[in-house]
Structure 1
Amino acid sequence: MNPGQAVSEARGSRGRARVVHAVVVVFLEFFAWGLLTAPILTVVHETFPQHTFLMNGLVHGVKGFLSFLSAPLIGALSDVWGRKSFLLLTVFFTCSPIPFMRIHPWLYFALISVSGIFAVTFSVIFAYVADITEEHERSMAYGLVSATFAASLVTSPAIGAFLTARYGDSMAVLVATVIAVADIAFVFFVVPESLPEKARLTSWGRPITWEQADPFASLRRVGKDSSVLLICVTVFLSYLPEAGQYSSFFLYLKQVSQFSPEAIAAFIAMVGVLSIIAQTVLLSVLMRTIGNKNSVLLGLCFQVLQLSWYGLGSEPWMMWAAGTIAAMSSLTFPAISTLVSHCASAEQQGVVQGMITGIRGLCNGLGPALFGFIFFLFDVELSNVQPPTSRDAVTKSAVPGPPFLLGAFSVTLALIVAAFIPENRQLLEEETSPDNVPGPASTNVALPLATPTSESEDIQPLLQGSM
């Protein structure tokens, strides 16, 4: 059997799995969290009345660091035992803190922190999509998944704000809990496995080595290949400020620009609609016209402009204008994920995506803590929960958002690094030989390395990062 027949046969054996399954899982998870946009602003301030930005950053810093530690192991295990069971775990633990928001806020924040162990939904989702799509289809599929995240935020914050205003925070939390349970049930009862049964059954007895589970070993492996190193440094430098921004941005809008919960919901909806357009129609066009690498560079340029505007702007109209640019910067991670998926073999998708998600997890640990500490140093605090009645009541600063300017500098460095990424290069060549592959390689099917082409993410994601 030649390699092409092997790939076709492997894909045929899991034909029931569809990209739509991944889309529904992502949509329900982040729709549930979107409903809590208004309640979370109150809960954070009530729980941490002193140094709100700093404590919020530390909570999400712990969560992100735990994600960094666990992502390589979950990615490797999903390559061996299948995606569905780990998708179920990640969705369950990501959503488990929701009902405790009003029951016991301190327990809620504790669960938010420890949920980072399994809060790597996008790592498993991207590997799931890679299992069931051909290489030329993958960029569109990744863009669709990322756009679905944005779509889930188009209406959910507004609905959550309405429920909170009409019935109180408890009703919004209850509805979010019901949707989270529905998502878990959907994964358990409806989502099919994407890996072929033969590969999973023959792999149960194969152990997972410490080398595969050790996140720092993943970092050491990154350094052995110059192309992988450049990609991962780009991810780190660009996602570090993004993670910090996501953990504090809604609080920042309320404090500096005096956005009401309704205005925040409208802002998220606008960015969500524009991100859908950017990550579906625009991303596909860019991949065909300027190529994968140039799409990454363009997304990074928009990110620099967005962060600079956030850092220097204090008027509401400035935030709205920067939000349109934020939608364009959402192109970056789907383009990077596509680049990586094109450069790794089919049986290594979980490990490779786990490696990138591990870098993002490290940023999810460092970014929020860094932003919270810088806000603390510059004495930027959430002084009240309700927006002030007068703009004159707020003392304006020449630089209202110092962490965002630091983030713009970091992304500028990422842009310089990304310029040196080669466009045609096979990655992880030593990792993908049959002797080194822990999962489907045991079926004796020789799956070739995919070569990068000019065609094409949690995100972890705007809202989850802020929770």
Structure 2
Amino acid sequence: MAVIGEGAAGGPRRSGRAAFGFIFATALMNSISFGLIIPVLPNLIKAFTGGDTAQAAEWNVVFAVTWGAMQFICGPLLGLLSDRIGRRPVLLVSIFGLALDFIIIAVAPNLMWLLVGRILNGMTAASFATAGAYVADVTPPEGRAKAFGWMGSAFSFGFLIGPAVGGALGDIDLRLPFYVAAGLALVNGLYGLFVLPESLPPERRTKSFDLARANPLGSLRLLRSHPDLLGLATIGLLFQLAHTVLPAIFVLYTGYRYGWSPSTMGLAMMATGVAGVVVQTLLVGPVVARIGERGALMLGAAAGAIGFAWYGFAPTGLLYLAGVPVFALMNFLMPGLQGLMTRRVAPDQQGQLQGANQSLQGIASMAGPALFGLTFAWSIRHADQLQAPGLAIYLASALLVVALILGTRVARPPATAPAAARARPVL
């Protein structure tokens, strides 16, 4: 298997494009796989509880927190492992493991087995950290914001397609979407087995696997070791935390405030997804080229703060939808942030960096649903006095205001390139 940047057939440029194409396809198929199960997993849990909605809701929280915890624990481990042995083996084991995890969930005879499958699913889904490191390997620093924008669009595309297909399959059989998701992961793994080249040559790998750096707290020490990296990571955590508000309360919020039906909610989600894809695929590249990664981060934080505030204020469904174009500009934040962060670490630390970011995402996945769900519940219980059903969404807006303020201090290009950051293959 040819190594990217080491004279592969067709040259570094062609090899780099092919490798990024696989990583994009991986992210797309993985996000479709996860999207497939979104509409059916709560109903499968409900079936195991004998139709008890309250008990199913409690179990759903347990599953969500457990999945986030696995991201928190395993993201750094897989990221650092990819720095030591290369990206390819970690990605392939994770993708094939994901297929197995979906099968376990599909055949689970009770809630405990379903939880086991969800634990394994969270562990293998932490391979997104390795995929992010792969992108940094095959992309020059000046092109990373655009590349991460495309990676973000893969998730948006997947969540446009997945829930609709998963809902239709779930109407046939609640377990069918999990088999289809397993099939997608298996095809993805087989494709990578025969096509995917290694992106990190031996001379650029870390020399040892240090368990002290592989645990979540150890991995986070990397964020304190480079100027402004911890501040940038804090911006990422604030963004990830704010981003959980709509998954946590969107259905309940729009149903309570606007009386939307499930089909209307689905159309609104699709509109938001389409707008996000347009920004990520068509606008991130040229806008970052014009205003830089710092400008993209600041634009995304400001737009997200305004967009969330708009959603929280909108008294009608039509006004809510009018905020979609503004909210979509929030998709500039993560490409700009990732571009700035990857410039601050050496090639043999890219996996550790992405693992640390995955841990922060795990923290947000655990804390966000509880924070926003409880805030929303409190706001509607006190509706007579407070009259602020959008309080939880205002809170998300405030988090991005803090991120914007922090960005004015830490979102600067590094003064010097990190050690060992030599010529990169160009996409």
Q: What range describes the TM-score normalised by the shorter chain of this pair? A: 0.7 to 0.9
Distance 2:246 2:88 in 1: 31
Query: 1:84 aligned to 2:73?
Result: no
CA RMSD of aligned residues (A): 3.5
Query: 1:161 aligned to 2:161?
Result: no
C-alpha contact (below 8 Å) 2:68/2:365 kept by paired residues: yes
Distance 1:223 1:265, change over 3 A: same
Distance 1:220 1:195 in 2: 23
C-alpha contact (below 8 Å) 1:75/1:350 kept by paired residues: yes
Distance 2:388 2:409 in 1: 33
Distance 2:181 2:220 in 1: 36
Distance 1:187 1:105 in 2: 33
SS of 1:353's partner is: helix
> Which of these residues, 198, 223, 234, is aligned with residue 193 of structure 1?
198
Distance 1:64 1:449, change over 3 A: farther
> Which of these residues, 119, 127, 132, is aligned with residue 126 of structure 1?
132
Report matched runs for 1:57-96 at 5 Å: 57-94=61-98, 96=100
**How many residues end up aligned between the 2 structures?**
412
SS of 2:342's partner is: helix
Residue 209 of structure 2 aligns with which residue? 208
Distance 1:186 1:235, change over 3 A: same
Residue 306 of structure 1 aligns with which residue? 307
SS of 1:331's partner is: helix
Distance 1:250 1:109 in 2: 24
Identity %: 24
C-alpha contact (below 8 Å) 1:98/1:173 kept by paired residues: yes
Distance 1:415 1:422, change over 3 A: closer
C-alpha contact (below 8 Å) 2:75/2:127 kept by paired residues: no
Which has the larger helix fraction? 2
Shift of 1:114: 4.9
| Stretch deviating more after TM superposition (62-71 or 241-250) | 241-250
SS of 1:290's partner is: helix
SS of 1:423's partner is: coil
Q: Which amino acid counterpart does residue 159 of structure 2 have in structure 1?
A: L
Distance 1:358 1:179 in 2: 26
Shift of 1:85: 1.9
Shift of 1:282: 1.2
Distance 1:74 1:171, change over 3 A: closer
Residue 417 of structure 1 aligns with which residue? 406
Unpaired runs of 5+ residues, structure 1, are 1-6, 381-394, 433-445, 451-455, 457-467
C-alpha contact (below 8 Å) 1:58/1:368 kept by paired residues: no
Residue 351 of structure 2 aligns with which residue? 350
Residue 150 of structure 2 aligns with which residue? 144
Report matched runs for 1:265-414 at 5 Å: 265-313=266-314, 315-378=316-379, 398-414=387-403
Residue 217 of structure 1 aligns with which residue? 218
Shift of 1:143: 1.6
C-alpha contact (below 8 Å) 2:75/2:358 kept by paired residues: yes
Distance 1:174 1:258 in 2: 34
| Stretch deviating more after TM superposition (72-81 or 112-121) | 112-121
Shift of 1:55: 4.9
Shift of 1:250: 4.4
Distance 1:332 1:142 in 2: 10
Report matched runs for 1:162-181 at 5 Å: 162-165=168-171, 167-181=172-186
Q: Which amino acid counterpart does residue 337 of structure 1 have in structure 2?
A: Q
TM-score, with structure 2 as normaliser: 0.82
SS of 1:180's partner is: helix
TM-score, with structure 1 as normaliser: 0.76
C-alpha contact (below 8 Å) 1:257/1:315 kept by paired residues: yes
Report matched runs for 1:9-20 at 5 Å: 9=6, 15=15, 18-20=19-21
Residue 464 of structure 1 aligns with which residue? none
Q: Which amino acid counterpart does residue 125 of structure 2 have in structure 1?
A: A
C-alpha contact (below 8 Å) 1:29/1:95 kept by paired residues: no
Shift of 1:294: 1.4
Query: 1:49 aligned to 2:58?
Result: no
Shift of 1:26: 1.0
Q: Which amino acid counterpart does residue 183 of structure 2 have in structure 1?
A: V
| Stretch deviating more after TM superposition (249-258 or 332-341) | 249-258
Distance 1:198 1:345 in 2: 12
| Stretch deviating more after TM superposition (298-307 or 41-50) | 41-50
C-alpha contact (below 8 Å) 1:34/1:153 kept by paired residues: yes
C-alpha contact (below 8 Å) 1:68/1:359 kept by paired residues: yes
Shift of 1:356: 2.2
C-alpha contact (below 8 Å) 1:57/1:372 kept by paired residues: no
Shift of 1:298: 1.0
Distance 1:174 1:118, change over 3 A: closer
**Deviation digits for residues 321-352 of structure 1, max 9, x if unmatched?**
34444322122112111111223222321122
